[in-house]
Amino acid sequence: MKRKRNRMLLASTLALATLLSACGGNEANEAQSSKTPDAPASGTSATSSGNDDAFTIRLGAWFIDDRPYMQEFKTNVEKAYEQKYPNASIQWDITLGDTYSDKLKAELASDTAPDVFFHQGKTAAFGEVGYLADLSGESWATELNPGAKSAYSFKDAVYALPMGIAASGIWYNKKIFADLGIEVPKTWAEMDAAFAKIQSAGFTPVAAGFKDVWTASMTFNLWMQPYGNESSPTYGKDLYEGKKKLDGPEVQAVMTHLQEMVEKGYLNKTALSIDWPQSAELFSSGKAAMIVQGPWMPGTAEENFQTKGHTPFDIGYFPFRTDKGYAKLSLGIDQSLSVNAKTKLMQQAKDLVDVIASPEVYGPFNVGSGTVPAIQGMQLDYPNSALNEYLKVVDETESGMGYETYLPASAMTSLVETFTKVASGLKFDPKDLTEAQKKLDKDKGTVILPAE
C-alpha cells in the first residue's frame, strides 16, 4: 500500500544490520532459564493492584547489544517504566543471536517464558497456539501501519508491537551515476543500459555476496515482489490457492534477467564466494556502483568510510522495477514485541509495552535502527542524509507484505537454490522451477496464512 507522506516527517540515519547478534546473558538469566516446568511463567511476585509495590518483570530479547542506541533504548525503557512503577525492576533476559529463538520456544512450551518478549516473524505462529496476549485494546494498536498487518495480527487481533518497518532495495553510488550521466532507472531496460555503461567505465555494476544465503533470498524476493504483483495484486495468495504457479512467467522473468546479468558480467565474479560484509566493502570502496541490501547499508558504508580509508560518496536508493516500470516494496519487520499470555503480571506487562511504544522510547529506537515507525504519525529526525532519500522513496512507493509469506519454507528454499545456481553461471532451465511448485503443493498445509 502507499503511505501518505503527511503522516511522517522523516529525515534519515542508521544502525548496523538488523540481524546482528545480541550480547550474552548473565547469571540471573541462566537461573531463570533453568526453571523447571512447574515454575511460574512470569515475574517474581504476584500481581499487585498498587503501582508502588515491588516486583520484577522479565523482558526477553536477542538483539540488544553494546551499540549506543541500544544502550540508550534500555535506559529510556527503564526510566519511563520507573515513572509508572517506581519500585519495579526490569530483568533483561538477553540471549545471543540465533540461540534466542530456540530458547524462547522451549520456554513458551514449558510456561517459563519472560513476561514480555521480542520475537521475529512469529506473531501468527505464536498466536495460533495461544502464547500471546491480545493487545488490541492498547492505544497504539489502532495507529499501526496496515501495510505491515501480517507482522502484528492474527485473526484480526493485534498480538505484537512491530519495532519498526524496513524495506530493502538497491543502493547506488551517486558519484558514479552522476559522472556517467546515468539517471535512476525507471524500467528494466533502463537498468540494463545503466549496467552496460557502468561496466564500460571499469566499475562492477552490482556487488553481491551470496555466500550468505539470506542475501540471495532477499535479492530474489525483492525482485519477485514487483514482477509477481504486477501480474496480480494478490500474487502470493494466488500461488497458495493454485491460481498462479512458481514455474510461471513471473519467476521465469526474474531468473532470465539474472542469467543475462551473469552472462554479461554485471555481477562480481566472486558473488558466490564472498559474504555480505565483503560485498558491502566492494560497494563502499567505490569499486561497485550498486548493491542490494537493507536500510543498514548507509550506516555500514559510513563505518567503512571511517575505518577503512575509503573516499566517502553520497548514496542513493531505488526499488526493483519490472520491464514496464512497476515497483512494489516488501515491508519487513525485524523485531516484534509481545506479552506472554500466561504472565501473572498482565497489566504491568501491557504497561511495559505501552512505555516502549511511547514517542520518547520508540522514536529514538527507530532513529537508531534507521527504520520507519510502524506507529503512524510519529515525527522523527534522522541525521543520516542517505536515509532521507530512502525514506522518501519508501513513503512514495507502493508497498505491502511480501508474496513469500504465503509459501512454505521448502518451496522458498528450492527457489533460492535455483537463483543461486543461475547466479553461479549455470544456464536457467524453466524445468528447474518444477521442484519448487511440487514442494508448494506438498507442504502448503504448513503455511500459517498472514492477516490481510
Handedness of CA 444, 445, 448, 450 (dihedral sign): positive
pLDDT digits (tens, 9 = 90+) for 151-191: 899 988 999 999 998 889 999 999 999 999 999 999 999 99
User: Residue 284 and residue 175: Cα distance in Å, rounded?
Assistant: 12
In angstroms, the CA 270 to CA 209 distance is: 8
Residues in the chain: 452
- Does pLDDT of 65 surpass 70? yes
How far is the C-alpha of 358 from the C-alpha of 203, rounded, in Å?
A: 46
For the record, the C-alpha cell of 147 comes out as 501495510
Q: Tell me the pTM.
A: 0.74
- Mean pLDDT score of the chain, rounded to an integer? 88
Under 8 Å CB-to-CB from 207, ≥6 apart: which residues? 268, 279, 280, 282, 283, 287, 288, 290, 291
The residue ranking higher by pLDDT, 71 or 449, is 71
| Helix or strand (DSSP H, E) at 263 | helix 249-264
Give the 3-state secondary structure of residue 33. helix
Two domains, one topology: 19-164+335-378 and 169-330+407-446 = yes
From residue 354, how far is each of 75, 163, 274, 348, 357 by CA, in Å?
Answer: 16, 12, 42, 10, 5
> What is the tens place of the pLDDT at every residue in 75-105?
999 999 999 999 999 999 999 777 999 999 9
Query: Which range, of 53-67, 389-403, 416-430, averages the lowest pLDDT?
Result: 389-403
Res 50: pLDDT? 63
Q: Could you name the CATH architecture of 169-330+407-446?
A: 3-Layer(aba) Sandwich (3.40)
Three-state SS for 316?
strand
Mean pLDDT, residues 351-359 = 98
Phi first, then psi, for residue 426 (nearest 5°) are -75, 140
CB under 8 Å to 192, separation ≥6 — which residues?
260
User: How far, in Å, CA of 336 to CA of 338, rounded?
Assistant: 7
Cβ-based neighbour number of residue 421 at 10 Å: 16
Asked if 97 and 62 touch (Cβ cutoff 8 Å), the reply is yes
Fold of 19-164+335-378: D-Maltodextrin-Binding Protein; domain 2 (3.40.190)
Q: Dihedral of the CA atoms 200, 206, 209, 214 (nearest 10)? A: -160
Domain boundaries, the chain: 19-164+335-378, 169-330+407-446
> pLDDT tens for residues 189-224?
999 999 999 999 999 999 999 999 999 999 999 999
